[in-house]
Structure 1
Amino acid sequence: MNKLIWVLFLVFLSCTSPKPEKVNGISFVGSRKEVAQVHVNPVLDIHANYAAIMPYGFIRDIEAPELVFNTDRQWFGERREGCMQYIKTLHENGVKVMLKPQLWIWRGEFTGHMVMKTEEEWEKFENSYAQFILLYAELAEETQTDIFCIGTELEAFVKNRPEFWNQLIADVRKVYKGKITYAANWDEYDETPFWNQLDYIGVNAYFPLTDDKDPTMQALKEGWKPWKTKLQALVEKENKPIMFTEFGYRSMDFTGKKPWLVDRGEMNVNLQAQADAIQVIFDEFWSEEWFAGGFLWKWFIDHEEVGGHADNRFTPQNKPAELVVRNHFAQGKRTGS
């Protein structure tokens, strides 16, 4: 009888134990100015529990080994002192942070294609990139930042220089004691070789879902099926949870066709398509135990001045999609997930 009672007690505990908190995050875009309470209030209003802070390093072109970062010529929110002020203000409001240093190549060339021409240039670039990442890993430790991301969408760099990445991860671990991830693009994550050394599999989830101009929620759900199967298989292989280090959709026609598009082409505004696509990604993933949550792309600090019903960009601010985000994040807050 005692053994039966003990078994029932363990079952009861497993049923009543709180689920791990999901990351209900936004990508908090750096600005020219300091963050004030008025800028954080809209983040609290949508019940976000995390924000990604993104300092930038700049490169002239995809073959240039010179990386420029943390200079007075950059916006305040894109350099070290700005990130510190942003993190401090968010933490004071109970919002956790992922610090996510990123690269920007002049004219917006894709970082995943970046390849150096010679061994000497590779070594020069690696030295500069390591300095960039370790500067912010030290800041992450100093500010007790909750998650640190060691890179974003660097497919060719990862593929060509595996030894560098192994050493970088080890060096980051020496200065930062929190959770670490890498933000792999949607078409590189399954070939990233170092997931077993990180705490989360990080994916920028711009998966193509449907070619429909005005997609239904059912079409979006169907589009997710093959990708979801692959993601879950990787979780089982690596025994690591997946986090969407970025996810989002533009408020335009064909929003599920090529969700990664950032060009400023004249695409018709479609507010409902954005709202539906975001709702579907919540429905498909946030209830899965193997899924850690994610960071919505993207959220600007001057809330009242961005987005709106004439905007076809990624931000959900002042659009129907913002209500979708608020309702979902609020539900997560109530359930503790």
Structure 2
Amino acid sequence: MLIGNIKYLITGLIFLFACNSADSQKRNNVAIDQNYHPLSSKIGGVNFTASATPIDSAWTGDLQNINANYVALIPYAYVRPNQPKVYFGNGRQYWGETEEGVTKNIKQAHAAGLMVMIKPQVWTQGGWIGDYDLNSEEDWKTWESDYESYIITFVKIAAKENVEIFCIGTEFKSVVKKHPSYWVKLIGDIRKIYKGKLTYCANWDDYKDVLFWKDLDFIGISGYFPLSDAVTPKTEDLVKAWEPIKHDLKLYSTQQNRQILFTEYGYRSMDQAAWRSWEMEYQDRPINNQAQANAYSAFFRSLWSEKWFAGGFAWKWYAYFRRIDPINNHDWTPQNKPAQQIMKQYYGK
């Protein structure tokens, strides 16, 4: 999807709004259940926004409150278009994207009874990482070495902290098609270090182009399938729109003998929420919480009871979300919106 670097920029803007200060921590007063035991057998998680500064564990109580059992931590890296260098760990990242921050957030999650997926992502200026390409084999060798260094850094943390799932990459549409053997080798190197479950996050329109699912434990997909261009689509209409998609997903899951995991899913709270939202990131769209809620409801009604469907991670969740105004934002987050209650209901089953 065309939301790679845009997600990152939006994250920064929302962060400024949410304000991860010590004062905001005190205002949250979140009760954390030290004996929390999630009920769902599905993976019911969120993609967690990395904090710019160190945070306490209050955010874990918010996830307990929606009956979540997983959180995905996302240490971003950066590439420039047509250049092979992968930038990370250079002191310019948010605290939550650093080795220290990721490790601390893992410990906080585990202490609260939550499981963890580490999901490294690479963003690129002025485009989508799925279109990322290089001009020479020499450049590809540089990129492959840099990317492996980035991934293995967090694989080692995952191994040390007993992280439950590790995602080896996100939405590398072009790179995966052109260099499948690289990913097979990378998976083998990871398995020498890390004993948890592995997945890869394919885009919704290219998961069938990935040739190494049988080397992984889950078929990971960014599940942003366009369903309806209606301003406020009806839940029943969206459920019908899911039917052919469900058929294809079930068939593919059977063929690959792997469950499907939506490493990302979600809808913006705006008009046409169940359409191609990533194409409207910079548009001043009318806020529509009902459209988002209907899309969430149809998603759960359509997929949550399917045995081939492992679950998913909502895009996206912010620390100190009580300061996120549900009336005046059309961000992807369900926090403080009707969609949050739908999540809570299904995550608690």
- Whether TM exceeds 0.5 here: the answer is yes
Q: Describe the SS at the equivalent of 1:295.
A: strand
Matches of residues 182-221 of structure 1 in structure 2 within 5 Å?
A: 182-221=200-239
Determine which of 73, 76, 88 is the counterpart of 1:53: 73
Instruction: Report what 1:33 is aligned to.
Output: 53
Matches of residues 260-299 of structure 1 in structure 2 within 5 Å?
A: 260-261=278-279, 263-299=281-317
Contact 2:223–2:262 under 8 Å retained in 1: yes
Determine which of 107, 132, 136 is the counterpart of 2:154: 136
Greater Rg, structure 1 or structure 2?
1
Q: Equivalents in 2 of 1:36, 1:43: separation in Å?
A: 14
Instruction: Tell me whether 72-81 or 304-313 shows the greater mean CA deviation.
Output: 304-313
Contact 2:173–2:206 under 8 Å retained in 1: yes
- CA shift, 1:71, in A, is 2.2
Q: Describe the SS at the equivalent of 1:26.
A: strand
Gaps of 5+ in 1: 1-18, 333-337
- CA shift, 1:216, in A, is 0.5
Instruction: Report what 2:145 is aligned to.
Output: 127
Q: Equivalents in 2 of 1:262, 1:72: separation in Å?
A: 32
Q: Equivalents in 2 of 1:103, 1:226: separation in Å?
A: 31
Q: Describe the SS at the equivalent of 2:261.
A: strand
Q: Equivalents in 1 of 2:335, 2:325: separation in Å?
A: 5
Identity %: 39
Instruction: Report what 1:3 is aligned to.
Output: none
Runs of 4+ in 1 over 6 A off after TM superposition: none
Matched, 1:105 2:124: yes
Contact 1:59–1:104 under 8 Å retained in 2: yes
Q: Describe the SS at the equivalent of 1:68.
A: coil
Instruction: Report what 2:28 is aligned to.
Output: none
Determine which of 246, 261, 266 is the counterpart of 1:248: 266
Contact 1:207–1:259 under 8 Å retained in 2: no
TM-score (norm 1): 0.90
Instruction: Report what 1:79 is aligned to.
Output: 98
Contact 1:71–1:79 under 8 Å retained in 2: no
| RMSD after superposition | 1.3
- CA shift, 1:132, in A, is 0.7
Q: Describe the SS at the equivalent of 2:202.
A: strand
- CA shift, 1:90, in A, is 0.6
Q: Equivalents in 2 of 1:60, 1:128: separation in Å?
A: 13
Q: Equivalents in 2 of 1:79, 1:106: separation in Å?
A: 20
Q: Equivalents in 2 of 1:163, 1:196: separation in Å?
A: 13
Instruction: Report what 1:21 is aligned to.
Output: 41
Instruction: Report what 1:69 is aligned to.
Output: 88
Contact 1:299–1:315 under 8 Å retained in 2: yes
- CA shift, 1:89, in A, is 0.4
Q: Equivalents in 2 of 1:93, 1:244: separation in Å?
A: 23
Q: Describe the SS at the equivalent of 2:334.
A: coil
Q: Equivalents in 1 of 2:296, 2:78: separation in Å?
A: 30
- CA shift, 1:98, in A, is 0.3
- CA shift, 1:261, in A, is 3.9
Aligned residues: 311
- CA shift, 1:307, in A, is 4.4
Contact 1:50–1:97 under 8 Å retained in 2: yes
Q: Describe the SS at the equivalent of 2:192.
A: helix
Q: Describe the SS at the equivalent of 1:72.
A: coil
Post-superposition CA distance 1:159-195 (Å, at most 9, x none): 1111111100100111100000000000110111000
- CA shift, 1:306, in A, is 1.9
- CA shift, 1:238, in A, is 0.5
TM-score (norm 2): 0.87
Matches of residues 313-328 of structure 1 in structure 2 within 5 Å?
A: 313-328=331-346
